[in-house]
Chains A and B, each alone.
Chain A
Amino acid sequence: MADASRPTTSGSTASSNPRPGIVYSATGEFDIREYYFNLLKNDPTKSMPIAAIESLSALCDGSKAETIHELMKTIEQAAKTLKESVPNPVSLTAGANLFKKFLLQRLHNDPRDFETFKKTLQENGHLFAQRARAARNKVAAAGVKAIRDGSVVFLHGHSRCITALCLKAATNGRRFKVIVTQTGESQLGARTATELRKAGIEVALIPDTAMAYAMPKATIVLMGAEGVFANGFCLNILGSMQLAMAAQYYKKPVYICAETHKFVDMFPLDQFRLPVTQNIVNFTDSDEPAPESSSDKPALGPYGYVDIIPKDLITGYITEIGLLSPQEAGHKIVMMRFE
């Protein structure tokens, strides 16, 4: 490929990238997209922000950058490339921002001792992943209190956090039942049902259309999140807002379980103000399926459709730092700008 022999300054060639997801730098090319998706494929328990952090720190490992400035530029470029190569970059943006912030904070330590800096960086990239896993367990521990004896928990889709929470509640001896929706074409709800039934929890798998119908039977609604935003809103699998609305009608509490590494500084005030490419509403006068949109960016398939839950519909966020109101969660994100 002609690009391998391009000028060797880091990050300078990326504007003319012929293929998505590849970062060109001093060390040649690094397919950060493939690395990222391999991480997700090889370890299904890994969440997207963490995979993004690990991909970026792998890039740092391989980078021959000699100054911090050069390294930052490569990372900046890589994060941008990665974001552009996926249709829903929200959660990986959260991870990338966290990593960049971490770097910037360490920058002040000693800018001259670059080798030590790179070493701590490598160590910390892996520390992040460990912490993330620990965070999920902490969320589960905090959320267990939400499930009381005799309660019926309403779930939607599949969330590692929620599954861990339910399993923990079951091992703690809580007696509760679960209602879960099938969740669209992805059938993620069915996966949740299977996992929970294996642990001896009684689960009712209902069609999505029965969301409102089944709501009176529930005592609490629990959902995971792909991202939590600075206005206290959160992003989740399509149908989440519907479920939250049904819950509001019947005055059931809605808790969102999310680790703080999913907090991301975006401020979407409605469904369409997201950096997510998905074509759900297509007007057409033929019965044929709508043609693929011709934009360069890949669009989400039905499996990955998402929507936003407004903060008015959310009772609270269960995180590893405790229970937060939507305002508090948003405030934490806004304050991160000043760190």
Chain B
Amino acid sequence: MPAKVVEKIVEVPAESKKDQGIIALLKELESEQFEKRKNKDSFGVEDAQNDVHPSIVTLGIQMNKGIIRGATARTMAMLACLRRVIDDYETPRDQTLIRHLPTSRYLSHQISFLTSARPMTGAMLPPAMGNSIRWLKTEISRINPDLSDDLAKRHLIDRIDAFIHEKFTAADAVIADIAQDYIDVEGSVVVTYSKSSIVQQVLLRAKELRKTFRVIVVDNRVTLEGRNLVHTLVEEDIEVEYVHTYALDHVLQDATVCLLGAQSVLADGSVCARAGTALTAAMAKRMNLPVIVCAEMVKFSDRVNIDQIVMNELGDPDALIPENWDTRFPEPGHLKGWQEQPNTMAVSLMYDVTPAELISSIICEHGSTCPTDVPGVTAIAAKRE
């Protein structure tokens, strides 16, 4: 009976109701973040322990403040820093490089600083960074022990350079070449969400091939990263339309293809990307547009996400609340002074997971694949390394 049900709900004490499910999880994350900040306003140099390399400290702070954003940029920046870390590394007198460098006493120590710098992820770095670090540690373990420290360091630095070239520069060029094929010589309308460096490269490649097409950049109010893409495209003389997510349905009417970037590709073929990507993909799929995700193999993860909270990142919640709030919204309702409200929380999640069913193709350096091929391709690529 409906009346009984209502009675039951009323009986539940307000306290326990508040702390269930996602809310409870978020509360936990928030308190964890509070712990991490240790009552300080921001993350800074003080958070680093003594032997964290200055370049890593800088990178950590840049990541924490959102100055360096995006999986590709962060991973490449991290590799550049690690290159310097290795260059500056000196083996303690009673140690050998192979045994000392990769351990928690040195390299892992640097990494854990980066992990702590990234706001709210649990104890994990995104797959692109994690995979790169795993690769570096394997490289270190493969060093010939007879090599002098200087030569070993030289070798590692060369290997890092080669890795950046192979996994990012060359891979991106291959992906751009494959993906540009989904843009017609004339008349294509590409819809993309926020800014992805690889999608930008695809569009520039298509332009280079003298294709005439239009780009619709869909953006969100919080990060406004799409504006960077618009800026680049306009400079390259590409026709651009810039909208926010609420206009998606309107602009999708004449789109022909949806190109998306990714933070990581999960083992079940779903894709973790800037929050809002899933919405864009769902809307594009609804119009039966091809939804194409461009991602380098280094972003492929062997994990699966069951919810969207773990491995996510918390952005600045104040970014959700417009600054000039009082003039634009004379009656702000519950959000005004939300920090003081005991039962209100504002959460700005940075990533979301696009389910595999919405994706027509994931393009990596091994060519176009279906989301269902991801585990197979990852396994084979790992075997070849």
What's the Cα separation between A251 and B373 when bound, in Å? 27
Interface residues of A in 244-276 (CB under 8 A from B): 265, 267, 269-270, 272-273
Q: Output the nearest chain B residue to A335 by Cβ-Cβ distance.
A: B376
Of B181, B257, B366, B370, which contacts A337 at CB under 8 A? Answer: B366
Contact B373 A330 (CB under 8 A): yes
Of A267, A269, A270, A331, which contacts B376 at CB under 8 A? Answer: A331
Contact B367 A265 (CB under 8 A): yes
Q: Output the nearest chain B residue to A232 by Cβ-Cβ distance.
A: B370
**In the complex, how many residues of chain B place their beta carbon closer than 8 angstroms to a beta carbon of chain A?**
19
Chain A residues, Cβ within 8 Å of B257: 269
Chain A residues, Cβ within 8 Å of B182: 269, 273
Of A273, A327, A334, A338, which contacts B181 at CB under 8 A? Answer: A273
**Cβ of B33 under 8 Å from chain A:** no
What's the Cα separation between A287 and B360 when bound, in Å? 39
Contact A327 B372 (CB under 8 A): yes
**Cβ of A230 under 8 Å from chain B:** yes
Of A265, A272, A331, which contacts B372 at CB under 8 A? Answer: A331
Interface residues of B in 268-305 (CB under 8 A from A): 290, 292
Contact A327 B370 (CB under 8 A): yes
**Cβ of A231 under 8 Å from chain B:** yes
Would you give the shortest CB distance from A324 to chain B, in whole angstroms? 12
Interface residues of A in 265-315 (CB under 8 A from B): 265, 267, 269-270, 272-273
What's the Cα separation between A267 and B361 when bound, in Å? 9
Would you give the shortest CB distance from B196 to chain A, in whole angstroms? 19
Interface residues of B in 363-382 (CB under 8 A from A): 366-370, 372-373, 376-377, 380
Contact B290 A270 (CB under 8 A): yes
Contact B290 A334 (CB under 8 A): no
What's the Cα separation between A231 and B369 when bound, in Å? 7
What's the Cα separation between A334 and B374 when bound, in Å? 10
Contact A330 B181 (CB under 8 A): no
Of B360, B376, B384, which contacts A334 at CB under 8 A? Answer: B376
Contact A230 B368 (CB under 8 A): yes
**Cβ of B184 under 8 Å from chain A:** yes
Of B184, B290, B370, B384, which contacts A330 at CB under 8 A? Answer: B370
Interface string of B10-33 (1 = CB under 8 A from A): 000000000000000000000000
Would you give the shortest CB distance from B202 to chain A, in whole angstroms? 14
Of B184, B368, B377, which contacts A267 at CB under 8 A? Answer: B368
Would you give the shortest CB distance from B99 to chain A, in whole angstroms? 35
Chain B residues, Cβ within 8 Å of A267: 361, 367-368
Of A265, A269, A272, A331, which contacts B360 at CB under 8 A? Answer: A269
Contact B292 A269 (CB under 8 A): yes
Contact A331 B184 (CB under 8 A): no
Interface string of A321-339 (1 = CB under 8 A from B): 0000001001100110110
Contact A231 B370 (CB under 8 A): yes
Chain A residues, Cβ within 8 Å of B181: 273
Contact B361 A334 (CB under 8 A): no
Contact A338 B370 (CB under 8 A): no
Contact B377 A334 (CB under 8 A): yes
Contact A335 B290 (CB under 8 A): no
**In the complex, how many residues of chain A place their beta carbon closer than 8 angstroms to a beta carbon of chain B?**
16
Q: How many A-B residue pairs have CB under 8 A?
A: 47
Interface residues of A in 208-264 (CB under 8 A from B): 230-232
Would you give the shortest CB distance from B72 to chain A, in whole angstroms? 23
Would you give the shortest CB distance from B29 to chain A, in whole angstroms? 36
Contact B290 A269 (CB under 8 A): yes
Would you give the shortest CB distance from B219 to chain A, in whole angstroms? 25
* A230-B369, A231-B370 given; A272·B184 CB < 8 A: yes
Chain A residues, Cβ within 8 Å of B377: 334, 338
What's the Cα separation between A272 and B368 when bound, in Å? 17
Contact A330 B372 (CB under 8 A): yes
What's the Cα separation between A68 and B338 when bound, in Å? 74
Of A231, A327, A337, which contacts B361 at CB under 8 A? Answer: A231
Interface string of B254-267 (1 = CB under 8 A from A): 00010000000000
Q: Of A232, A267, A335, which is in contact with the most chain B CB atoms at under 10 Å from its CB? A: A267
Q: Of A231, A273, A330, A335, which is in contact with the most chain B CB atoms at under 10 Å from its CB? A: A231
Would you give the shortest CB distance from B106 to chain A, in whole angstroms? 36
Would you give the shortest CB distance from B331 to chain A, in whole angstroms? 47
Would you give the shortest CB distance from B167 to chain A, in whole angstroms? 18
What's the Cα separation between A175 and B40 when bound, in Å? 81
Would you give the shortest CB distance from A233 to chain B, in whole angstroms? 10
Q: Output the nearest chain B residue to A326 by Cβ-Cβ distance.
A: B370
What's the Cα separation between A295 and B322 when bound, in Å? 56
Chain A residues, Cβ within 8 Å of B368: 230-231, 267
Interface residues of A in 87-129 (CB under 8 A from B): none
What's the Cα separation between A238 and B304 when bound, in Å? 40
Contact A334 B184 (CB under 8 A): no
Contact A231 B360 (CB under 8 A): yes
Q: Output the nearest chain A residue to B181 by Cβ-Cβ distance.
A: A273
Would you give the shortest CB distance from A212 to chain B, in whole angstroms? 19
Would you give the shortest CB distance from B11 to chain A, in whole angstroms? 46
Q: Of A269, A272, A331, which is in contact with the most chain B CB atoms at under 10 Å from its CB? A: A269
Chain A residues, Cβ within 8 Å of B376: 331, 334-335
Chain B residues, Cβ within 8 Å of A331: 370, 372-373, 376
Could you list some 25 contacts between A and B, CB below 8 A? A230-B367, A231-B360, A231-B370, A269-B182, A269-B257, A269-B290, A269-B292, A269-B360, A272-B184, A273-B181, A273-B182, A327-B370, A331-B370, A331-B372, A331-B376, A334-B367, A334-B369, A334-B370, A334-B373, A335-B380, A337-B366, A338-B366, A338-B377, A338-B380, A338-B384
Residues of A within 8 A of B (CB): 230-232, 265, 267, 269-270, 272-273, 327, 330-331, 334-335, 337-338
Beyond A269-B257, A331-B372, list 20 extra A-B contacts (CB 8 Å).
A230-B367, A230-B369, A231-B361, A231-B370, A232-B370, A265-B367, A269-B360, A269-B361, A273-B181, A273-B182, A327-B370, A327-B372, A330-B370, A330-B373, A331-B376, A334-B370, A334-B373, A334-B377, A337-B366, A338-B366
| 9 A-B pairs with least C-beta separation | A269-B290, A267-B368, A334-B373, A327-B372, A338-B380, A334-B369, A331-B373, A330-B370, A269-B360
